[in-house]
């Protein structure tokens, strides 16, 4: 069993019952499968399947819709990412390697052609480019990233996938309030507690002080997102954390500060291979880590 720092173990036990804590710890130990989506800007399912089979790469397909009334891109599951990174379809940006959990926020946001969309903390661009593909590359997407190294990585990924996205090297908190968007994705900076596994040196960066620092940033970003959202606009708040302090508690606090915002119920249709907990009034989702999914949190707000 993975050895967690005492403070982290106590944090989990304070939030979840023993059964859930055990599931989380087992999830941390799981050998996570590699998943990727087809980049429909450049390719299609048939081309990807032909390339996989010509390279004798074993795969499984998930082609069931995960969110009601939203077309889920075809998702391929591999045992690892070693062989796929050598292929033509990978090098030409026709696929994007992305964990299943990371694909969920854009699905719940459901970007459409011509909508004004903001990705507030966008690098490395997986969700950003997914939104571009979902909107047939015709949404007006603005992506913010304050870190220049991460911005360069995002620009590389965007160019590789042929996505039409306007990128800004800026902290989204500093955006002018007169800007308004139909939809906003805030995949907030977080502790990354949902991504722990026994191959990462998580003890070096995942500390109690980081948790305290991160929640302050998340609250500021979420309040800013609400200011930038048009009336009747939709906002997805997500983290790759399983700490309630970064998730439901942030949502509850910000809703209490903004009477013009409401929480909208979300759900995952196809619950195969997923362990999930409902949060505030059964409206928010916490995905527990396992071999398919990283630990993740998603909430949807409407102005």
User: Are 22 and 16 spatial neighbours (Cβ–Cβ below 8 Å)?
Assistant: no
**Region of 192 on the Ramachandran plot (φ > 0 left; ψ -120 to 50 alpha; else beta):** left
Instruction: Give CA 82 to chain center in angstroms.
Output: 23
User: Is the distance from CB of 178 to CB of 225 less than 8 angstroms?
Assistant: no
The DSSP element (H or E) to which 167 belongs, if any, is: strand 165-168
SS3 of residue 15 by DSSP? helix
Residues 144, 167, 190, 240: which is the catalytic one?
240
Distance CA(299)–CA(169), nearest Å, equals 26
Candidates 266, 286, 267; CA nearest to 276 is 286
Q: How far apart are the first and last CA of the chain?
A: 44
Counting DSSP H helices and E strands in the chain, the numbers are 10, 13
Respond yes or no: is residue 144 known to be catalytic. no
What region, left, alpha or beta, does residue 104 occupy, with left being phi > 0 and alpha being psi -120 to 50 degrees? alpha
Residues in the chain: 303
d(CA 16, CA 113): 41
Phi, psi dihedral angles at 266 (to 5 degrees): -125, 160
* Catalytic positions, written as ranges: 240
């Amino acid at each position: 069993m993975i050895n967690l720092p005492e403070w982290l173990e106590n944090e989990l036990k304070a939030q979840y019952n023993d059964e859930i804590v055990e599931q989380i710890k087992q999830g941390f130990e799981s050998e996570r499968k590699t998943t990727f989506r087809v980049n429909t800007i450049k390719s299609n399912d048939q081309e990807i399947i032909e390339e996989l089979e010509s390279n004798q790469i074993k795969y499984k397909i998930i082609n069931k819709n995960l969110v009601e009334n939203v077309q889920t891109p075809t998702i391929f599951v591999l045992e690892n990412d070693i062989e796929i990174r050598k292929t033509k379809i990978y090098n030409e940006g026709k696929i994007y390697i992305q964990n299943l959990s990371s694909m969920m926020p854009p699905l719940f946001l459901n970007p459409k052609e011509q909508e004004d969309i903001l990705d507030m903390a966008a690098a490395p661009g997986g969700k950003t480019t997914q939104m571009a593909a979902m909107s047939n590359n015709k949404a007006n997407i603005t992506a913010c990233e304050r870190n220049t190294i991460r911005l360069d990585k995002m620009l590389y990924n965007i160019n590789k996938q042929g996505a039409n996205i306007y990128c800004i090297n800026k902290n989204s908190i500093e955006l002018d309030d007169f800007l308004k968007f139909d939809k906003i994705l805030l995949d907030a900076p977080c502790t990354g507690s949902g991504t722990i596994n026994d191959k990462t040196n998580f003890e070096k960066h995942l500390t109690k002080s980081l948790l305290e620092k991160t929640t302050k940033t998340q609250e500021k970003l979420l309040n800013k997102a609400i200011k930038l959202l048009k009336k009747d606009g939709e906002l997805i708040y997500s983290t790759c954390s399983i700490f309630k302090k970064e998730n439901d508690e942030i949502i509850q606090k910000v809703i209490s500060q903004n009477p013009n915002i409401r929480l909208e119920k979300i759900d995952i249709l196809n619950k195969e291979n997923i362990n999930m907990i409902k949060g505030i009034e059964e409206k928010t989702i916490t995905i527990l880590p396992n071999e398919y999914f990283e630990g993740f949190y998603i909430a949807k707000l409407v102005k």
